[in-house]
Structure 1
């Protein structure tokens, strides 16, 4: 087995994709195709997640409490984000569901995406293909938007995102 050289941002995207699938059966090739990531990268990612204790040794069952702990207490430090320039893209963080109806703000945050319809401050997604993948998977989109609210938001926004995420992970 390879040495664990640390988690990568897309490892979280892959774990959230598995969570979004729920009880639906999946194969690595499905995850790769739906996230626009190579099968070998998905395989390596699952190995890293297994070594980090975020997925079971069979690489099929996500260890929800471990993922929740990492997302709530480590994500914003390991993959920090500050809003960038105004761009066109797809809304994220508190600008997207499920927080958009709970948090009023005059500023939008978006993942830069040429086919996006919204303008806002640029937020780098955890993987470049996240916007494209999220347009085809609403559950994944909501999970990743909540992660961005944790990465970007104020304490109040982070708490609301954590509460929403906790509901979806349990």
Structure 2
């Protein structure tokens, strides 16, 4: 099994949704992919450990008020059922079949994804701004001649072209501001200068895994 760029995109979309209920049909629609591809992405994400099958998570038994109970919030079944991502339901009716494994996804995002999905520069063009040029970072980095864009006919900024993680990324990002921010931060890790990478190393894991350890401050040069 080899992860594909759309698998990472799907995982980030689940982060953006948080605790919202979702279906494969909704996932496919908002990311501009097919329902069958959404199923395949969830299946690979589960196999890679970036996602957790919600069918394998059992809430702990209710405890009487005033009684403390130790242990994790969820228990894994001793004999887990087959992952629901294998379902043959092509209509996308399965509800909330997986959730993000925050720690694993945050680690992959900052330490592995830029090597698994390297950046490809494209000619200067008009497109959707990304990396430090994205709208989420206008208060941090002023627009300039070093803007990065995903080439797109509906774009508003001219800059250095960057191949998006997946062809549907510009469309998906324009539908969801939190997803857009995470995708732009990921691009900052791939093509940014020291200051921009430093920002992404600090901000991206906190968006994915807010309960995780806070990234150490690093000196930034360049």
The residue aligned with 2:5 is: 9
The residue aligned with 1:54 is: 50
The residue aligned with 2:70 is: none
Write the mapping of 1:103-114 to structure 2, written as runs, cut at 5 A. 103-104=141-142, 105-114=144-153
1:43 aligns with 2:82: no
1:101 aligns with 2:139: yes
Moved over 2 A (4+): 97-101, 103-106
> In the alignment, is the contact (CA less than 8 A) between 1:112 and 1:122 conserved in 2?
yes
Q: Please identify which structure carries the higher strand content.
A: 2
Shift of 1:84: 2.4
Instruction: String of CA shifts for 1:113-155, please: whole Å, max 9, x gaps.
Output: 0111111111111111111121111111111111111111123
The residue aligned with 2:191 is: 152
Segment of structure 1 superposing worse, 101-110 or 82-91: 101-110
Residue of 71, 88, 102 corresponding to 1:64: 102
Gaps of 5+ in 2: 55-96, 211-222
Secondary structure in 1 matching 2:40:
helix
Instruction: Give the Cα–Cα distance (whole angstroms) in 1 for the partners of residues 40 and 163 of structure 2.
Output: 22
Instruction: Give the Cα–Cα distance (whole angstroms) in 2 for the partners of residues 92 and 18 of structure 1.
Output: 20
Larger radius of gyration: 2
Q: Please identify which structure carries the higher helix content.
A: 1
1:131 aligns with 2:170: yes
Instruction: String of CA shifts for 1:26-54, please: whole Å, max 9, x gaps.
Output: 11110100001001111111111111100
The residue aligned with 2:159 is: 120
TM-score by length of 1: 0.92
Secondary structure in 2 matching 1:121:
strand
Residue of 198, 201, 209 corresponding to 1:162: 201
The residue aligned with 2:113 is: 75
Instruction: String of CA shifts for 1:61-99, please: whole Å, max 9, x gaps.
Output: 100110111111111211111432110110000101333
